[in-house]
C-alpha cells in the first residue's frame, strides 16, 4: 500500500454545494441514494470527477439527469464531468455484515455510523476528505421507531424522518442512527438565547443511567460560552450510546455517538473514574462543535489542530470542575505512560506527521496528548489574555474553513507580534526532549544551567533546539519559598538563568506544573527531594518529588537488591497525615511508578529491564509501605468512610480514592479482612471494585470474583470490569494463563471491542504477565490479534501497540516478541491497518 504524504496535498478538483441523501435501511441490502451538487474548484488542477468509494455495489449513476457509466475501481470511481452539475447515484451496502464498525453498521439491532476518518466512502461515493464541506439533508426510511441524523429534524411521518444540517461539514462528521431507542430529554438555553433540546438515546433499561452524562453536557455548554465565547448553534443536540464501538466517542455534528461505557453511569455500576471519564469525554465531543466541526482540518495530517486543542479544552474544563492540581498530575501520569512510551519507541512520530499509510493509525497519544501539551505551552508563553485574543481571532477568521497548523499559529503571531517559528518545532520534531538542569548559588543569586537535547527518532536523525517554557521556583532550607514561580524560556542547546533569591542555600523546584512535556534530569539528594515533598508550593512538583524518591528507591531494589528505602517511607508519613491536603492528592502520592514506567526508566539508563524483578520490587515496596504506615493508613481507612448515599462529586471521590489506596496497602498485611468486609458491604462500584482488586492482587479473591460474576452477569459494562480486573491484577506471570482461561468464558464475546479489550488489552496493563519469560503473553495476544484482524482491522491495529516496547528487553524475550510480531505480519490477508503497525514496530 502507498504512503500518503503531506507534501502531496492538492486542493480538491470539485467542491460540493449541497448534499441530499436517502437511506432505505435494511440489514443486508440498504439502499443509499445521493443527490450532490458539484462545482469545479477554481483552485483545483482540473481533471475528471473522482469519488472515493469502498465496498459499494453501484446500482446507477446520473449526471444532470442522464445515466452515466463511470469507471469503477476498488477504492474510487472516475468520470469526466462538467464544471457545475448534479450527481445522482444509488448504491447498496450491507450494514449487518460490517464487522469493521466503520461506515454504516449494526450493533444489537440498531443502525449506527462511524465515519471519521474515512468511513463515509463505505456509505456512498463522495470526495471523502475534510476540505470538502457542504450542508447535508438526510432522509431515513425504516420501520424502526427512532430515526436520527445530523442537524435539526425538519419533517417526519410514517416510516421516515428528514434531517437538515445547515452548517457546512466534511463527510467524516456525517451520522445516522436508527433503532428502538429510549430518549432521555433535557434542555439548555444558550447565552445567545437559543433554546436547545438535549437528548440522550439509549437502549431500554439504560435510561436510568444518563443523568451524569446529561449534567456534564450542560456544564460543558456553559463552560464553552464562558471560557471561549462559543455557544451552541442548532436547536437539537443528541448523544447516542452504542455497545459496539471501536473507540471512545465521535463528535458528529449535533449527533454525537458514544461507546456506551462513556455515557452510562449509576453509583452501583460505575466507578468514580468512570464518572470522571464520562464528564471529560462528553465535554471533549461537545467542544469539538467549534474546534473540529465549525473549523475543521484541511487534511488528516492536521489532525492535532482539532484533537490537541480539544483535549486541552477538556482538560482545563475538568480542572475547573474538579481540581487543577490533581488533574494535572493525572494528565502527566497518563502522558508519560502512553505518549513518552510512544515517543521513545519505533512508533514515534511528530505531532503533525508528514506521511501515513492508514490514517486511523495516527489517532495516537502523540497527536492527542502531546498536541494538548503544545497548546498548554503556548498559553504559558503568551499568557491567558493573549491566548484568548488568539482563539477569538481564530474563530472569527476561520469559521467554516478547513485549516492547518500554520493557520492556528498565525493568529497568535498576529495578536502578540511574536515569531513562533521555533515554537512550531513542537509540531514537527518527534521524540521527548531531555532537559538536564544543575544549579549553583552565588551571593544570593541562584543560577540554573540548562542543557536540552532531542533524541533521534525514526526518520529524524538530527534535531534542532526547541523553545521550551520551564517554570521554576525555589524553596529555602526552612521550607519557605524563596523564589515564586517564574518562566524560563529555553531556546538554546545550553543556557543559564540567574535569579535573585537573597539566600545562600535553597532547593530549586524545576518544571513546576510540568510546564513542558520533557524528561528532566536533575541531580538531587534524597534529602532535598524530601524537602520539596514536604514544602513545595507547587502541587505537581510536591508530588513529583515523592515520585522521584520512589523511583530511585525502586531502581536500587531492582539493580542492587537494596531494601526499601526507609527515608522514603518516613517522608511519606507527614504528607499522608496532613489533613490540609486534598485526599485525592494524598492518594496520588501513595501510588508507586508503574512497572512499565520502571522498565522505561531502566531502558533509558541503558540497562535491560527484568519484568519479574520489577514486579517483585514493587510488591516488596508496597508491603514495606503497609508495614511502616500501618497505623495512619488504618486510621484513615476508618475515618474516611462516607456515611449516606453515594455522590460522584470530586470531594467524595477524593476521599474514596485515599481510603481505597489505604485499603490496597493494608490488604498486603491484614490477610484480606478489610477488603472482604468492604466487598460484602459496598453500595457503590468504586468500593466494590477496589476491594475485589485488592483481594485478587494478593491471590485471595476467588470467592469474591465468583460472587461478583453472579451478581453482575447480566450487566455488560460491569462484566467488562470483571474480566479486566482479573487480568490486570493477576499476580506474577500468571496473567497470561488467567487471560487465556477468560477467553474461554461464555461471556467472552470477542467481536465486541469493549469485551476484547477487557481481556486481551488488559494483559498489556499487566507488565509482568504480558512480558512473561516463556512468551505466553506475546503468543496469546498474537493469536487473538490474528483472529480479530479480518473482522475489525482498526481495533486490531491499535492493540498491536502492546508490543511497541519489545526492543527494551533481553534477547530471549526479544526473540519471542519478534516471533509473535512476525506471525502477525505473515497472517494471510492482513489488513492495511495492522500491516502498517507491525511493520513499523518491527522497525
Ligand atoms: N474524533 C474521534 C476519533 C475518531 C477516530 C477514528 N479512528 C473522537 C474524538 O477524538 O473526539
Ligand atoms: Zn477528539
Cβ of 360 closer than 6 Å to ligand 1, yes or no, is: yes
- Give dist(CA 732, CA 560) in Å, integer: 21
- Give dist(CA 705, CA 726) in Å, integer: 8
- Give dist(CA 593, CA 609) in Å, integer: 14
CA of 425 to the centre of ligand 2 (A): 22
Question: Average pLDDT, stretch 797-814?
Answer: 98
pLDDT, tens digit (0-9, with 9 covering 90-100), for 191-234: 999 999 999 999 999 999 999 999 999 999 999 999 999 999 99
Q: What is the pTM of this model?
A: 0.99
CATH number, domain at 509? Answer: 2.60.40.1840
Structural domain includes residue 774: yes
Same domain, 259 and 401: no
ipTM surpasses cut 0.90 = yes
Decide if 567 contacts 530 (C-beta within 8 A).
yes
Which residues are near ligand 2, the ion (C-beta closer than 5 Å)?
307, 310
285 catalytically annotated: yes
Structural domain includes residue 459: yes
Q: What is the mean pLDDT of the chain?
A: 98
Cβ of 804 closer than 6 Å to ligand 1, yes or no, is: no
- Give dist(CA 672, CA 666) in Å, integer: 8
State how many domains the chain has.
Answer: 5
Same domain, 137 and 9: yes
Q: What percent of the chain has pLDDT over 70?
A: 100
Residue 774 contacts by C-beta under 8 Å, 6 or more apart in sequence? 733
Same domain, 77 and 56: yes
Same domain, 752 and 766: yes
Structural domain includes residue 322: yes
Structural domain includes residue 542: no
Cβ of 251 closer than 6 Å to ligand 1, yes or no, is: yes
Q: Which three cell numbers stand for residue 808?
A: 527494551
- Bridge-based pairing state of the strands 103-107 and 110-114: antiparallel
Same domain, 136 and 197: no
Q: Is the pLDDT of residue 733 over 90?
A: no
Mark which of 428, 443, 468 sits at the end of a domain: 428
pLDDT tier at 1 (50, 70, 90 boundaries)? Answer: confident
What is the domain extent for residue 309? Answer: 296-428
- Bridge-based pairing state of the strands 468-476 and 506-510: antiparallel
CATH number, domain at 396? Answer: 1.10.390.10
Instruction: Kindly give the number of the ligand 1 atom that is closest to the alpha carbon of 307.
Output: 10
Give 407-456 as a 3 state SS string.
Answer: HHHHHHHHHHCCCCCCCCHHHHCCCCCEEEEEEEEECCEEEEEEEEECCC
Q: Is the pLDDT of residue 572 over 90?
A: yes
pLDDT, tens digit (0-9, with 9 covering 90-100), for 308-359: 999 999 999 999 999 999 999 999 999 999 999 999 999 999 999 999 999 9
Mark which of 151, 180, 209 sits at the end of a domain: 180
pLDDT confidence of residue 505: 96
pLDDT, tens digit (0-9, with 9 covering 90-100), for 683-709: 999 999 999 999 999 999 999 999 999
Buried b (16+ CB within 10 A) or exposed e, 218-242: bbbbebbeeebebbbbbebbbbbbb
Same domain, 340 and 362: yes
Beta-bridge partner residues of 797 = none
Same domain, 319 and 286: no
How many Cβ atoms sit within 10 Å of the Cβ of residue 630? 16
CATH number, domain at 217? Answer: 3.30.2010.30
Left (φ > 0), alpha (ψ -120 to 50) or beta: where does 775 sit?
left
Same domain, 424 and 439: no
DSSP 460: B
Q: Is the pLDDT of residue 54 over 90?
A: yes
Cβ of 250 closer than 6 Å to ligand 1, yes or no, is: yes
Nearest one of 170, 160, 94, 81 to 134, comparing CA atoms: 170
pLDDT confidence of residue 598: 98
Structural domain includes residue 705: no
- Bridge-based pairing state of the strands 76-79 and 49-52: antiparallel
pLDDT confidence of residue 732: 81
DSSP 808: G
Same domain, 21 and 135: yes
pLDDT, tens digit (0-9, with 9 covering 90-100), for 447-477: 999 999 999 999 999 999 999 999 999 999 9
Mark which of 290, 307, 332 sits at the end of a domain: 290
CA of 316 to the centre of ligand 1 (A): 19
pLDDT, tens digit (0-9, with 9 covering 90-100), for 370-424: 999 999 999 999 999 999 999 999 999 999 999 999 999 999 999 999 999 999 9
Catalytic choice (137, 251, 279, 285): 285
Amino acid at each position: 500500500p502507498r504512503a500518503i504524504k503531506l507534501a502531496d496535498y492538492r486542493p480538491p478538483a470539485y467542491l460540493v454545494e449541497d448534499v441530499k441523501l436517502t437511506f432505505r435501511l435494511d440489514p443486508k441490502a440498504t439502499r443509499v441514494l445521493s443527490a450532490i451538487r458539484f462545482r469545479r474548484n477554481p483552485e483545483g488542477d482540473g481533471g475528471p470527477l473522482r469519488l472515493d468509494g469502498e465496498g459499494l455495489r453501484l446500482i446507477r449513476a446520473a449526471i444532470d439527469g442522464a445515466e452515466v457509466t463511470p469507471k469503477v475501481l476498488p477504492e474510487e470511481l472516475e468520470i469526466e464531468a462538467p464544471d457545475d452539475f448534479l450527481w445522482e447515484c444509488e448504491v447498496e451496502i450491507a450494514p449487518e455484515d460490517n464487522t469493521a464498525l466503520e461506515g454504516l453498521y449494526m450493533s444489537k439491532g440498531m443502525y449506527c455510523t462511524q465515519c471519521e476518518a474515512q468511513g463515509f466512502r463505505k456509505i456512498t461515493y463522495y470526495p471523502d476528505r475534510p476540505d470538502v464541506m457542504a450542508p447535508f439533508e438526510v432522509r431515513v426510511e425504516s420501520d424502526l421507531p427512532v430515526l436520527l441524523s445530523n442537524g435539526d429534524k425538519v419533517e417526519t411521518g410514517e416510516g421516515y424522518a428528514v434531517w437538515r444540517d445547515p452548517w457546512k461539514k466534511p463527510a467524516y462528521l456525517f451520522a445516522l442512527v436508527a433503532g428502538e431507542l429510549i430518549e432521555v430529554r433535557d434542555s439548555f438555553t444558550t447565552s445567545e438565547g437559543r433554546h436547545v433540546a438535549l437528548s440522550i438515546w439509549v437502549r431500554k433499561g439504560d435510561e436510568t443511567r444518563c443523568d451524569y452524562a446529561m449534567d456534564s453536557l450542560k456544564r460543558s455548554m456553559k463552560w464553552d460560552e464562558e471560557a471561549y465565547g462559543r455557544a451552541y448553534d442548532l436547536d437539537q443536540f443528541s448523544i447516542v450510546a452504542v455497545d459496539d464501538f471501536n473507540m471512545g466517542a465521535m463528535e458528529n455534528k449535533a449527533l454525537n455517538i458514544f461507546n456506551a461505557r462513556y455515557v452510562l453511569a449509576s453509583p452501583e455500576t460505575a466507578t468514580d473514574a468512570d464518572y470522571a471519564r464520562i464528564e471529560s469525554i462528553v465535554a471533549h465531543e461537545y467542544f469539538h462543535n467549534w474546534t473540529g466541526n465549525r473549523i475543521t482540518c484541511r487534511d488528516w495530517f492536521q489532525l492535532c489542530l482539532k484533537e490537541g486543542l480539544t483535549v486541552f479544552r477538556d482538560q482545563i474544563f475538568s480542572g475547573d470542575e474538579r481540581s487543577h492540581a490533581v488533574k494535572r498530575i493525572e494528565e502527566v501520569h497518563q502522558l508519560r505512560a502512553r505518549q513518552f512510551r510512544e515517543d521513545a519507541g519505533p512508533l514515534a512520530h511528530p505531532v503533525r506527521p508528514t506521511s501515513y499509510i492508514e490514517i486511523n493509525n495516527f489517532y495516537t497519544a502523540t497527536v492527542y496528548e502531546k498536541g494538548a501539551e503544545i497548546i498548554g505551552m503556548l498559553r504559558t508563553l503568551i499568557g491567558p489574555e493573549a491566548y484568548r485574543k488568539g482563539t477569538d481571532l481564530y474563530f472569527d477568521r476561520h469559521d467554516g474553513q478547513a485549516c492547518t497548523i500554520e493557520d492556528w499559529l498565525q493568529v497568535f503571531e498576529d495578536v502578540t507580534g511574536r515569531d513562533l517559528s521555533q515554537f512550531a518545532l513542537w509540531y514537527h520534531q518527534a521524540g521527548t526532549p531531555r532537559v538536564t538542569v544543575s544549579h549553583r548559588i552565588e551571593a544570593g543569586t541562584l543560577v540554573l544551567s540548562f542543557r536540552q537535547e532531542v533524541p533521534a527518532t525514526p526518520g529524524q536523525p538530527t534535531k534542532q533546539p526547541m523553545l521550551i517554557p520551564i517554570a521554576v521556583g525555589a524553596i529555602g532550607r526552612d521550607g519557605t519559598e524563596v523564589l515564586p514561580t517564574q518562566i524560563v524560556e529555553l531556546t538554546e542547546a545550553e543556557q543559564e538563568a540567574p535569579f535573585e533569591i537573597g539566600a545562600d542555600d535553597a532547593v530549586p523546584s524545576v518544571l513546576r506544573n510540568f510546564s513542558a512535556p520533557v524528561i528532566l534530569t536533575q541531580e538531587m539528594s534524597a534529602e532535598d527531594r524530601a524537602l520539596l515533598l514536604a514544602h513545595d508550593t507547587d502541587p505537581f512538583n510536591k508530588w513529583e518529588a515523592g515520585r522521584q524518591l520512589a523511583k530511585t528507591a525502586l531502581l536500587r531494589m531492582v539493580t542492587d537488591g537494596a531494601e526499601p528505602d526507609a527515608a522514603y517511607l518516613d517522608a511519606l508519613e507527614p504528607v499522608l497525615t496532613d489533613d490540609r491536603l486534598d485526599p485525592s492528592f494524598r492518594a496520588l502520592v501513595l501510588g508507586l511508578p508503574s512497572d512499565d514506567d520502571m522498565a522505561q526508566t531502566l531502558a533509558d539508563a541503558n540497562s535491560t529491564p527484568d519484568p519479574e524483578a520489577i514486579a517483585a520490587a514493587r510488591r516488596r515496596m508496597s508491603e514495606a509501605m503497609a508495614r511502616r504506615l500501618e497505623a495512619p493508613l488504618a486510621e484513615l481507612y476508618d475515618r474516611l468512610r462516607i456515611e449516606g448515599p453515594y455522590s460522584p462529586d470530586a470531594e467524595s471521590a477524593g476521599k474514596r480514592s485515599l481510603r481505597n489506596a489505604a485499603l490496597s496497602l493494608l490488604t498486603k498485611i491484614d490477610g484480606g479482612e478489610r477488603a472482604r468486609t468492604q466487598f460484602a458491604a459496598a453500595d457503590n462500584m468504586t468500593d466494590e471494585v477496589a476491594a475485589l482488586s485488592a483481594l485478587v492482587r494478593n491471590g485471595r479473591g476467588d470467592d469474591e470474583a465468583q460472587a461478583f460474576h453472579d451478581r453482575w452477569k447480566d450487566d455488560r459494562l460491569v462484566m467488562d470490569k470483571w474480566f479486566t480486573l482479573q487480568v490486570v491484577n493477576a499476580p506474577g506471570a500468571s496473567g497470561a494463563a488467567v487471560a487465556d482461561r477468560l477467553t474461554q468464558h461464555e461471556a467472552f464475546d470477542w467481536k465486541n471491542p469493549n469485551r476484547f479489550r477487557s481481556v486481551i488489552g488488559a494483559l498489556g496493563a499487566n507488565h509482568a504477565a504480558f512480558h512473561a519469560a516463556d512468551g505466553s503473553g506475546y503468543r496469546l495476544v498474537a493469536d487473538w490479534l490474528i483472529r480479530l484482524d479480518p473482522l475489525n482491522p482498526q481495533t486490531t491495529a491499535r492493540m498491536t501497540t502492546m508490543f511497541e516496547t519489545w526492543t527494551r528487553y533481553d534477547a530471549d524475550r526479544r526473540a519471542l516478541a519478534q516471533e509473535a510480531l512476525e506471525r502477525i505480519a505473515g497472517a494471510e490477508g492482513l489488513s492495511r491497518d495492522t500491516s502498517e503497525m507491525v511493520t513499523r514496530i518491527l522497525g
